[in-house]
Structure 1
């Protein structure tokens, strides 16, 4: 049985799993509004409202940060926008109690706009944050008092802009690699279909012409040719279906389930370690094909009892405890090598510590 459910929604990236700790760490900077509330001369009612607003701000910020780390980089949802409104409202509520010290909330709002709301929200929140900090510090006559927060805001504006740009470039690059990999896969499928049908249709045409000529002079021979045509077309249909299945089966999680089910039905125990999402979408396409071919080779040649499928960032390994490597590389192995090379990966096929074979793909 498999040790991990391939289709499960798990957060495997360290950023997805532990990124919210950054929000917790940043809470230390709320010490400034907290100290301002402690020493505030405002009315008790406003001070109490300030405490509630500050605590609410911290909770909402952490929750929003956690949600943002676990969603794909893209346009924000309504919930994220609503939480941003709550954060702004909480900061405004503290104004009567701590006055300009409420600027301490500005860096949080900038980070939220960049990493939780993203897109056009980043430049809008960044520009607004810088303008508000400069204007409040200047108009209040407390420039020296707030020079530290002004420096922090300017640094965050620069850092967040560079980071946002880099993330966008990385996503665009990964999308381009995925589209290129999908295009290469379609070309390979088209080539396979062409090679398969080209030979078969040529043979069918010749046999059909022969059967047409023999239909009156030699009906039995004509019937035999027609039977061969039926067999050829049946084989061709099965080949096209297998090729089409290969095209549809580019999802790595689906291929893991299919490989596990196929091996287990043959009495082979399967374990999956690591997480498939450790591979990028562009890497997952050739990895799925190589996993499928590895599964076929294990069933045909390995006589294995157990198989281990392992994932880590940029790495796929398929290891069995079967007979090991005892034959020259066939078309399947050459196909895996070609696909790995085309995907910018290195394929290794070696003896496994368990005595069987280990297929490794490393980007």
Structure 2
């Protein structure tokens, strides 16, 4: 039974690549793990703490072997035949359960060859029970099918299990059982159908789980990429502006240039810390700190501004403060880098963030970049809406208004 999953790279068909490597074209996929994965048994003996649950799951069905056991003990067969039958049944149980503990005893041979060898041993055990239990030996069939249907991929397990069931039915038709033939054939077919249906359901459930984990992993990567983009885009813009300012001041005002460079150094350290915490999933920007950062960035860019006071946003709910902080960071970065604006106005209420400028307008960059796409994604996930419009449509500098509404 599948138990748990981890990210494993795909190797050649029928095998797995070493832990931590990549499959074709560097594609990492989520593969089942635990001792049982979809279509495979573990390649090594189970650990002691893993054997109990596996043996219970596989062994609970052995209760159906009580029927041939009772038939052998209470039948009219000679004592020697009964002893042989009971020994065959005991050997069958040992081989069947042992195969769950050590499914790959001959490592140099393919998996299906190992299972075929175990199947041959099981069939010999069944033959030993027939003289004492008679037709009750048909109760052994589902166990023989199980070691093919569940451990192997269906492209192997399905044809082999169908072939075994067909052989079993042919044997049932060839025996002189009178009216009992029906009760020999129907359980055989039913066992095959039920186990195949269960196997397909398990595989479908496992595939759904794997797809869900791959989707969650993709979303996590997208979130980290979006966060790193937002952090670096804003920080590098401010660093560039302050460095340019320091370069202009280095001859006329060395002390102020030194002060600007000190701020650049501090900002670069803060940015490095933000990237580290963002990659670790620990970073959540503060709206108050972002307002202060926006003030510094706009000043460095020579853009006049109107910003709300930090105290005015302190009482907003934490999740809205975080969302508005991300959006404010990206919006101010876009104003500085793309708009060519001389003035920027920011308004924040409990459910709305508005950033307006007097720049060249959204027509100058009709195709949204990663930053704007990431911002829209954040807002949509929070159940809000994002809109862009022109402040003065038709003019040479129509400006842009970005509005986030929750």
Same fold (TM over 0.5): yes
Instruction: Write the distance in 1 (CA, Å) between the matches of 2:57 and 2:217.
Output: 36
8 Å contact 2:247–2:257 — kept in the other structure?
A: yes
Aligned to 2:318: 330
Decide which moves more: 17-26 or 215-224. 17-26
The equivalent residue for 1:132 is: 167
Partner residue in 1 for 2:137: 102
What pairs up with 1:155-170 in 2 under 5 angstroms? 155-170=190-205
Distance, in Å, in 1 between the alignment partners of 2:230 and 2:112 is: 47
Q: CA deviation at 1:334?
A: 6.8
Indicate the SS of the match to 2:179: coil
Aligned mate of 1:225, from 250, 260, 263: 260
Query: Per-residue deviation at 1:182?
Result: 1.3
Tell me what 1:55 maps to: 90
TM-superposed CA distance for 1:216, in Å, is: 2.2
Deviates more, 1:100-109 or 1:156-165: 100-109
CA distance in 2, matches of 1:10, 1:127: 28
TM-score normalised over the length of structure 1: 0.55
- Structure 1 residue matching 2:185: 3-state secondary structure: helix
Aligned equivalents of 1:165, 1:205: Cα separation in 2 = 58
SS in 2 for 1:94: helix
1:207 aligns with 2:242: yes
| In 2: Cα distance, 1:76 partner to 1:330 partner | 56
Q: Contact 2:274–2:283 (CA<8 Å) still a contact in 1?
A: no
Q: Distance in 2 between matches of 1:207 and 1:143?
A: 98
Change (3 A) 1:129 1:198: same
Shift of 1:36: 4.5
CA–CA distance in 1 between the matches of 2:190 and 2:165? 10
CA RMSD after TM alignment: 4.2
Moved more, 88-97 or 181-190: 88-97
Query: 1:145–1:18: structure 2 CA closer, same or farther, 3 Å change rule?
Result: same
Distance 1:181 1:332, change over 3 A: farther
Question: CA 1:139 to 1:83, structure 2 compared with 1: closer, same or farther past 3 Å?
Answer: closer
The answer to which structure, 1 or 2, has the higher relative contact order (CA under 8 A, 6+ apart) is 1
- Residue matched to 1:266: none
Deviations 1:131-160 (A, max 9, x none): 122110122233633432321111122212
Give the structure 2 partner of residue 183 of structure 1: 218
Change (3 A) 1:78 1:219: farther
Task: Summarize the alignment of residues 208-287 of structure 1 with structure 2, pairs less than 5 Å apart.
Answer: 208-246=243-281
Structure 1 residues 24 and 332: CA distance shift in structure 2, 3 A: farther
Give 1:80 shift.
6.9
Cα drift, residue 77 of structure 1: 9.5
Q: 1:239, 1:78 → 2: CA distance?
A: 55
- 8 Å CA contact retained: 2:246, 2:258: yes
**CA distance in 2 between partners of 1:226 and 1:196 (Å):** 20
The TM-score with structure 2 as length reference comes to 0.50
Q: Which residue of 2 aligns with 1:197?
A: 232
- Give the conservation status (yes or no) of the 8 Å contact 1:65–1:116: no
Q: What is the aligned partner in structure 1 of residue 354 from structure 2?
A: none
Q: Deviations over 1:272-292 (max 9, x none)?
A: xxxxxxxxxxxxxxxxxxxx7
CA contact (8 A) 1:54 1:91 kept: yes
Q: Kindly tell me the number of residue pairs found equivalent between the two proteins.
A: 247
Larger Cα-atom Rg: 2
- d(CA) in 1 for partners of 2:278, 2:283: 13
* CA–CA distance in structure 1, aligned partners of residues 172 and 238 of structure 2: 85
**Is the contact made by 1:76 and 1:116 (CA closer than 8 Å) also made in structure 2?**
no
